[in-house]
Structure 1
């Protein structure tokens, strides 16, 4: 019987540099989906603030504290990234471990918005999508999440099984944008 070896979703695919842009895999640590129990929205927000120093984000928003992020992930759902959920959160919400479910890629550099304009049907210009904004959206033909983490930096998230496709699509779009310059 063979030995199983753990590897990240983008192992051997990243990092990638094209022109002044780069794509790299984000090692997020723990990832937990949180949804408030019925009538517990406020209590879950308070518990998150007490335990992690960040609250339950508004729709299309992100809350951050240190390395931890709470990313809005759709109706009544938040993805807690980079922190093990405190036990107190279980009293007010439903928690589902997602740590091995997602590939997270960071896209950086001038031209990142132009790359995403080729892949995402969302206006990601800084004036419309400021730092701390997030959207559940198509990325190419995949369902995913786009989060602006800096003026020229984004986190792109797709299901782990789509990591190779994401990197392929990103590389193609990065090359096309770099060729324009």
Structure 2
């Protein structure tokens, strides 16, 4: 039996791989996995759910380049903004940086630097009547609806981690951290959820 025959090579990446022996050699089988375990999770009036945003590509325009025609019907977002069209989202993710989510990136050769970020980030939703109270325990953003309304994006800390925070509704957020931080994010959010639920039970 060769080294690849029936060998299973698990990793902590976004994709599990295994090799299957065939007459002509080995075929690699890939299975997408989530970075989180134990979700969905509801504590008190808040629920955490892992979700797959689809392909994620960072778009960083070169100085002086106009991306409007190449990105249409999307528009490169202003700081904190999100552009949505045709099932795609272009989310502001930092200075001169946006994440294209939900589909492949158009050809931006000569206009912008693009990088596949799909496997590099872990995404979840935080939703429920106490979602703001939970996130406020970990994030320094002003989460009042007047300051951070639905349809806005920010780069901020969540606990000790750099994160992308997207408000999708009055009581709903999408959070993304580097995939290696997924366990820490889940741990911190779970603790905050328990704290808010315990306080409400007093």
Alignment of 1:32-47 (within 5 A): 32-40=57-65, 43-47=66-70
TM-score of the superposition, structure 2-length normalised? 0.82
Q: Deviations over 1:107-160 (max 9, x none)?
A: 001111111110001111212100111111111001111110111110111000
Alignment of 1:43-122 (within 5 A): 43-49=66-72, 53-87=73-107, 89-122=108-141
Unaligned runs of 5+ in 2: 10-15, 17-31
- 1:177 corresponds to which residue? 196
The structure whose RCO (Cα within 8 Å, separation 6+) is larger is 1
CA distance in 2, matches of 1:150, 1:30: 22
Unaligned runs of 5+ in 1: none
Question: Does the residue aligned with 1:73 lie in a helix, a strand or coil?
Answer: strand
Richer in helix (by share) = 1
Residues 56 and 78, structure 1, Cα contact 8 Å, conserved in 2: yes
CA distance in 2, matches of 1:124, 1:34: 27
Larger gyration radius, structure 1 or structure 2: 2
Q: CA RMSD in A?
A: 1.4
CA distance in 2, matches of 1:70, 1:157: 15
Alignment of 1:142-181 (within 5 A): 142-181=161-200
